[in-house]
């Protein structure tokens, strides 16, 4: 964390921001529950026309921390949140805790979000509701899943509830993210841009309901808001495949690790590149184990008879087990000629031993020109079984050797210690 960031995050002060638009039914109960938290409360009335304004005029009391911002006409949730953030900054608050006014959130969960924010003051904290809630339509669940997946592709951020309105925003960094989306799409785009900036995007589990007291009030318009969401995701994906930083990074890229976030180009370069190799070689024992495992998997794949899909399999295994793909693919490429012929012969020999209990005669092993479809068909079982067994032995040996070499490097490095 930079010195500037440390200064910004010192002496945290929170305000609750509640955007509302025609939530006259559940709003009084939500605000009464929030009063128990003894935090400043900022309600943003986004042009309500259901009598909410009359209630709020009686509720406002700045001397006890009740503040009201009013929009003459409805401008959408994005604008309401922006007005709430400005009001929180005027109160010299560092973080805004947002709560929806429709009663779908339990105010008892606000301290959970605030506690995580106090421990991770630079992160954008999302209160993640359960994946399944009574009364939640399948369309909402599907939309959430699609949104979560597209956020991960665009930025690397892993979230399970990108549409939750209970969050903690570090106000010092939000304006610099340059979020363009309006209405509900703001809450999705801000996650992508926060990840691009290197801010943490973290979740804590909270409760949720689709059947709040007084009935559910929603202003989501499936046609308009879905079109806006699609356009926003396409725009973010397009920016993610271009080089350069879309926003100023708070955490520099050199601090990237296995949970790295950034554009697709940045993450691909880091994932495949030499800087990650050096980081794994010099890292903690867990990282060195994964690098040694990358060598082992590469050797196994070099022996495996997976021609045609070998590279795809190497990439899939690297993603699943957080290995270094360049190491896995590079070592697996030993299976190309001329060494490929040696691997094939070794597989045939080991397979013959496994199936027949003896090594094959040297003159029974084929020449390169004899590897025709008929020969492969006749000796396929030997080749497959032998290749798997030989690959397992090579992988085990490679892992042991790589671990020993990496442990030696770690001990030789300044401040190096035992490799556990």
Q: Are strands 95-98 and 66-71 parallel, antiparallel or unpaired?
A: unpaired
Tell me the three-class secondary structure of 243-304, residue by residue: CCCCCCCCCCHHHCCCCCCCCHHHHHHHHHCHHHHHHHHHCCHHHHHHHHHHHHHHHHHHHC
Mean pLDDT of 208-219: 58
pLDDT score for 415: 57
Take residue 384 and report the two structure tokens written for it.
């497959």
- Contact between 125 and 113 (Cβ < 8 Å): yes
Average pLDDT, whole number, for the chain? Answer: 84
Tell the residue number behind the tokens 């896995």, with chain if given: 328
Query: What is the token pair recorded at 227?
Result: 């079109």
**In this structure, are residues 279 and 290 in contact, taking their beta carbons and an 8 Å threshold?**
no
Q: Tell if the pTM clears 0.85, that is, is over it.
A: no
| Cα distances (angstroms) measured from residue 388 to each of 136, 302, 329, 336 | 48, 10, 17, 17
Alpha carbon of 82 to those of 164, 181, 189: distances in Å? Answer: 17, 12, 14
Mean pLDDT computed over 101-108: 87
Mean pLDDT along residues 230-240 = 91
Q: Where does residue 313 rank: exposed (0-12), middle (13-18), buried (19+ CB within 10 A)?
A: middle
Which residue do the tokens 């956020």 mark?
Answer: 151
Q: Which residues pair with 243 in a beta bridge?
A: none
What single DSSP character describes residue 61? B
For residues 55 and 133, give the distance between their C-alpha atoms in angstroms, rounded to a whole number: 31
pLDDT at 419 over 80: no
Distance CA 15, CA 38 (A): 10
Q: How many CB atoms lie within 10 A of CB 216?
A: 14
Residue, of 21 and 366, whose pLDDT is higher: 21
Lowest mean pLDDT among 58-62, 243-247, 257-261, 386-390: 257-261
Beta strands in 117-233 (DSSP E): 124-128, 167-170, 201-205
Answer for the pair 314, 298: CB distance below 8 angstroms, yes or no. yes
Higher pLDDT, residue 296 or 377: 296
At residue 94 the predicted structure's pLDDT band, cuts being 50, 70 and 90, is very high
Which tops the pLDDT comparison, 362 or 235?
235
User: How many other CB atoms are there within 10 angstroms of residue 383's CB atom?
Assistant: 21
Q: Tell which wins on pLDDT, 184 or 402.
A: 402
| Confidence at residue 14, expressed as pLDDT on a 0 to 100 scale | 97
Tokens of 73: 């006409």
Domain annotation for the chain: domains and CATH numbers:
3-240 (3.90.550.10), 273-412 (no CATH)
The predicted pLDDT at position 405 comes to: 92
18/67 Cα distance (integer angstroms): 10
Count Cβ atoms below 10 Å from residue 356 Cβ, excluding itself.
10
């Amino acid at each position: 964390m930079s010195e500037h960031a440390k200064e910004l995050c010192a002496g945290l002060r929170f305000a609750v921001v509640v955007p509302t638009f025609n939530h006259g039914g559940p709003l009084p109960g939500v605000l009464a529950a929030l009063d128990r938290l003894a935090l400043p409360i900022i309600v943003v009335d986004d042009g309500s026309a259901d009598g909410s304004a009359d209630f709020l005029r009686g509720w406002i009391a700045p001397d006890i921390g009740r503040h009201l911002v009013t929009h003459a006409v409805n401008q959408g949730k994005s604008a309401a949140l922006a007005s709430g953030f400005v009001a929180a900054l005027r109160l010299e608050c560092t973080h805004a805790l947002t709560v929806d006014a429709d009663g779908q959130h339990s105010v008892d969960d606000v301290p959970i979000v605030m506690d995580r924010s106090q421990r991770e003051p630079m992160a954008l904290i999302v209160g993640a509701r359960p994946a399944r809630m009574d009364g939640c339509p399948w369309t909402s669940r599907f939309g959430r899943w699609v949104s979560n997946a597209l956020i991960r592709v665009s930025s690397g951020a892993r979230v399970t509830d990108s549409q939750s309105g209970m969050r903690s925003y570090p106000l010092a960094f939000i304006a610099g993210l340059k979020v363009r989306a309006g209405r509900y799409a703001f809450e999705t785009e801000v996650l992508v841009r926060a990840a691009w900036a290197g801010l943490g995007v973290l979740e804590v589990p909270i409760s949720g309901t689709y059947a709040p007291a007084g009935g559910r009030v929603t202003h989501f318009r499936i046609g308009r808001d879905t079109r806006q969401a699609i356009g926003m995701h396409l725009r973010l994906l397009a920016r993610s495949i271009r080089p350069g930083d879309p926003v100023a990074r708070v955490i520099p890229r050199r601090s990237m690790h296995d949970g790295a976030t950034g554009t697709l180009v940045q993450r691909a370069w880091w994932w495949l590149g030499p800087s990650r190799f050096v980081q794994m070689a010099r890292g903690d024992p867990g990282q060195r184990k994964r690098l040694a495992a990358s060598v082992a998997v590469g050797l196994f794949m070099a022996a495996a008879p997976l021609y045609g899909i070998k590279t795809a399999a190497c990439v899939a295994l690297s993603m699943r087990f957080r290995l270094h793909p360049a190491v896995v693919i590079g070592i697996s490429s030993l299976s190309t000629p001329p060494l490929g012929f040696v691997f094939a012969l070794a597989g045939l020999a080991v397979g013959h031993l496994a199936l027949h209990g003896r090594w094959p005669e040297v003159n029974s092993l084929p020449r390169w020109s004899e590897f025709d479809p008929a020969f492969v068909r006749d000796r396929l079982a030997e080749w497959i079984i032998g290749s798997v067994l030989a690959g397992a032995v090579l992988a085990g040996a490679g892992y042991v050797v790589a671990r020993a070499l990496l442990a030696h490097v770690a001990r030789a490095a300044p401040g190096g210690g035992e490799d556990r």
